[in-house]
Chain A
């Protein structure tokens, strides 16, 4: 029973990691960039939701979906802006240059929020009224249903976009081979922009959901969450969309278990232990294919 309870708690946390990991994986798949600022976009998503929720405190059924959509919209603009200003000019530069820029963007966003809103923890407003049920000794709150529910919904939408729309086909083409895609007439710039927009929107959704599930936000919340989500993406095989979702879930469950079994101060270590074990055993991730270099 205890185990089941932990798994349920883990799934909630894991779906948040999964949403962030999707953005990492999509961006990596397309521009081969570890977008270190991605975790901060997630933080921005939480803050946008926080600001809107405090302004419109009217209690309606629409409150949550509207806030969610607004935050997603805001962050997709933010994501596109970041791409345009910081990454696009460096696209053909060595990766270490883009990576350093990404770190710069990350520090920028954290400190922007820190200066504009404040460095301290903030309580996230209750945009969904919490209730919980007890079934045979297991407590499930409505939040634990809403969070994975939203995640599943968003993943389905993403799946549809990637596999059924023209933009999605372009994304897959660019991630397969950018030069060939360009020759085939795919607008690479646009496709990259769309990828950032979608990835950032998903991160924003994660930010809103984390605000609901663990109602404490601060300007640095994106660092650890981002790293763990990145680890999830690697775990699932970076560049592979279902892999990121799976990796996120596993990471969430593993973390909750680790806290239960050992101590809460080891909660962050687990992510890295998992990462290193995966990288050493199967560097291409759980769902990745082994590609050997042709010589």
Chain B
């Protein structure tokens, strides 16, 4: 029983307290500066996008380049629900997640047969097809989506508070999923699909599940993004947007959840900092990216989880030895 209470502290209380504290610190720094608040909100949205992509690419070993497509689905569903359906914000976000989850499921199913590069290119294709459908939405009977012109006048519901809240919830849910028996099954799929099947892991199920969960959170990011930009536009969710998320998780370290949180923050902040360079901005971004890959190909933050160490420090984990009953314990 004490063990469970400990776990309760570790899994519920500590994250809640820590993130509330972080929230107040950030808000007191950025208070009254609209630009800072905007950047922080962007950071939170990108954290959601990057960690959810990491579930697919880093933890399940699949290779998705279509994350922006799922984001677009979430953005368009949530955005049009608040604008045209006058839905409440959170309800619309959840609907956007559901829409993106359906898209993720539909993409996940047929791409099961594909591996590695082929999978990457197929997901890229799906992402682009979603965008093309949006561009042609006016011709496909959805006149109100305005096709290539986009939909302006979305209300700015995405405050930093909401974005931060959803980012924390996302990371918490993904962490719980990853560090459970289901997450280990994903790890098996990533390591060796033949062996995973032989050990009774339904690789199909776990691939589709990763795609569906990953896509639904991308949809959440999309919904938040639309209500930050106050605009639905197909160009916001092109291939380069997917690349952005890929860069965040690669920079943060594949299969490292805290790494991809840091990667998202790092890339977002750098991108903002480089705005001063105007024309040269993207050039500097590219050079930086190439240099990171050349000199630290395992990502800036490697594969070691960060906050986990911190959490262990706050609420020590029981060592292996107590459970197994052997004397020497973990090495």
Using a CB–CB distance below 8 Å, which chain A residues touch chain B?
28, 32, 34, 85-86, 89-90, 93-97, 99-101, 103-105, 107-108, 110-112, 114-115, 223, 227, 230-231, 234, 263, 265-266, 268-269, 271-273, 275-276, 279-280, 283, 293, 295
**At the interface, is chain B mostly helix, strand, loop or mixed?**
helix
Determine if A111 and B282 form an interchain contact, defined as CB atoms under 8 angstroms apart: yes
Number of residues on chain B facing chain A (CB within 8 A): 44
- Given A107-B289, A269-B132, A275 and B125 touching (CB < 8 A)? yes
> Of B116, B121, B243, B290, which one neighbours A105 at CB under 8 angstroms?
B290
- Given A263-B136, A266-B136, A268-B128, A275 and B294 touching (CB < 8 A)? no
Bound-state CA distance A168–B95 (Å) is 56
Bound-state CA distance A94–B148 (Å) is 37
Determine if B285 and A266 form an interchain contact, defined as CB atoms under 8 angstroms apart: no
Determine if A279 and B293 form an interchain contact, defined as CB atoms under 8 angstroms apart: no
Using a CB–CB distance below 8 Å, which chain B residues touch chain A?
57, 63, 110-111, 113-114, 116-118, 120-122, 124-126, 128-129, 132-133, 135-136, 139, 147-148, 194, 239, 243, 246-247, 250, 254, 279-280, 282-283, 285-287, 289-290, 293-294, 297-298
Known contacts A97-B297, A99-B117, A103-B246, then 9 further A-B pairs from the complex at CB < 8 Å, ordered by chain A residue: A101-B290, A101-B293, A107-B289, A111-B283, A115-B279, A227-B124, A234-B121, A272-B128, A275-B125
* B289 partner residues in chain A, CB cutoff 8 A: 100-101, 103-104, 107
Determine if B246 and A272 form an interchain contact, defined as CB atoms under 8 angstroms apart: no
Determine if B286 and A108 form an interchain contact, defined as CB atoms under 8 angstroms apart: yes
Bound-state CA distance A96–B111 (Å) is 18
* B285 partner residues in chain A, CB cutoff 8 A: 107
The minimal Cβ–Cβ distance linking B158 to chain A, given in whole angstroms, is: 27
Determine if A97 and B283 form an interchain contact, defined as CB atoms under 8 angstroms apart: no
Bound-state CA distance A223–B279 (Å) is 19
Interface centre among B120, B128, B287, by most A CB within 10 Å?
A: B128
Determine if A272 and B132 form an interchain contact, defined as CB atoms under 8 angstroms apart: yes
* A100 partner residues in chain B, CB cutoff 8 A: 246-247, 250, 289, 293
* B298 partner residues in chain A, CB cutoff 8 A: 97
Determine if A269 and B129 form an interchain contact, defined as CB atoms under 8 angstroms apart: yes
The minimal Cβ–Cβ distance linking A34 to chain B, given in whole angstroms, is: 5
